[in-house]
Amino acid sequence: MGLLDKIKGEFIDIVEWAEDDSHTLVWRFPRYQNEIKNGAKLTVREGQTAVFVNEGKVADVFKPGMYTLTTQNLPVLSTLRGWKYGFDSPFKAEVYFVSSRRFVDQKWGTRTPVMIQSKDLGSVRVRAYGSYVLQLADARKLIQELVGANPYFTIDSLSDQIRNMIVSKFADTISSSNIPITEIASHYDELAYSMQSALAPEILKYGFNCAQLLVENISLPEEAAAAIDRKSGMKLVGENDYARYQFATSAEIAAGNPGGGAASGMGFGMGIGMAGMVPSAQQPANPPKVPAAKTAVWWVARGQEKEGPYSFDQITELFHSGKLTESSLVWKPGMANWDAFKNVPETKSMVPPEVPHS
C-alpha cells in the first residue's frame, strides 16, 4: 500500500447507519480518529435523523435523504469551525443517528400502590398499568438533554424515567377527576387522554412525543372491591331490602358465633334498628315475622312486588299452605336471577312429581 492509499484510507467518504433494531434510539457513527472527507456522502434512511455535533455543540440536523457534505449543507458547522471561504480539507465531527420511528407497546405500571383521593371512599390505594407509544419530536433536544457523549442509547434507557412520569400523572389525574372509584372501570379512555395531555409538555423537554397512552387496568384494594359488591347488591334487591338482607346476614353470623355474647346482641339490635328505619310505605303488607333463631334470606315475587325476607322454614310453610305454588318466583343470595320454586335446588324436592298419563 502506497503512502497516498494510506492517507486516503484515513478519510471517510460514506456516512450512514445501515444496521437497526427495535431498541436502538441513538447510534454514533464510529469515526474514531478518521476524518470525514470534503464532499463525503451522507445517507439518512427513512425512520432516521442525523445530527452533527462539533466539540459538544449540536450543529446541523438532517432528515431522510442523500446529501453531499459541503459548506452549503453544513452551514452551522461551517460557522462553528470558521470556514469563511469554504473547506477543502477533511474535517472532524461527531455524527449521531437517531431513530425517528414509533416505539410501540412500551409498558408502564405502579411498582407499589398509589394513594388517591376518592369522593365516595376517601383515601384508597390502587395499582394500575398500561402501555404507551413514544416517538421522536426533536433530535436536537434529545442529543442535548439525554445522550451527551454516549455512543449508544436505547429506548430501554428511558423506561424508568417515562414510567415514573406517567405514574405521577396518573395519581394527579385520577385524584382530580371526581370519578367515583366504584365506576372507574368505565372511564379508562377518559383518564388516559387526560394523562397523555398532562404528560406531553414534560416529555417534549427531552425531544419526544407520546403518540398514544392507554390505561389497561386499575386494581382496587379488597375493601373497595367489597364496596362495589355491596352497591351491586343494593341495585339488585333495592336499598331498603338490602338493609334488611344485611340485618339477616348479621343475624346468621350472630347465631353461629357462640362466643358473641353482648357484642352479638348489640349487632343484632343494630340490625333491628336498621330494619325499622325502612319507610313503612315501602314494606309489604302484613310481613311475616322472622324468627330470631332462623336466617331470613328468601324473597318471593308477587307481581311487581317483593316479599320477604323469609327463613327457609317460612318458605316451606308458605308452600305447604298453598300460599306459594311450584311456579312462584323466589330468590336468595347466591342466585343470579329469580327462578320458579320448583327449579331451585333447595326447594324442588318439596314439589311432588307429576302423575304419569295413563
What is the mean pLDDT, run by run of 10 residues, along the chain of 358 residues?
47 84 87 81 93 89 93 86 76 90 92 79 84 93 81 85 92 84 85 94 92 91 67 54 50 46 41 41 42 63 84 89 89 87 87 69
CA distance linking residue 63 with residue 43, whole number of Å: 10
Position 232 scores a pLDDT of: 57
Give the bridge partners for 48, in sequence order: 99
Q: Read off the pTM.
A: 0.58
Position 12 scores a pLDDT of: 82
H helical segments located in the chain: 3-9, 75-81, 139-142, 159-176, 188-204, 222-237, 239-255, 261-276, 312-320
Position 124 scores a pLDDT of: 80
Strands 103-109 and 65-68: unpaired
Domains in the chain, please, with CATH?
3-99 (no CATH), 103-137+147-223 (3.30.479.30), 225-350 (no CATH)
Give the bridge partners for 209, in sequence order: 135
CA distance linking residue 143 with residue 121, whole number of Å: 46
Nearest to 100 by CA among 147, 142, 162: 142
79-86 long-range contacts (CB < 8 A, ≥24 apart) are 80/54, 80/55, 81/54
Position 167 scores a pLDDT of: 92
Upstream peptide bond of 353 is cis (omega within 30 degrees of 0): no
**326 burial level (CB within 10 Å; 0-12, 13-18, 19+):** middle
Cell numbers found for residue 53: 455535533
SS3 state at 353: coil
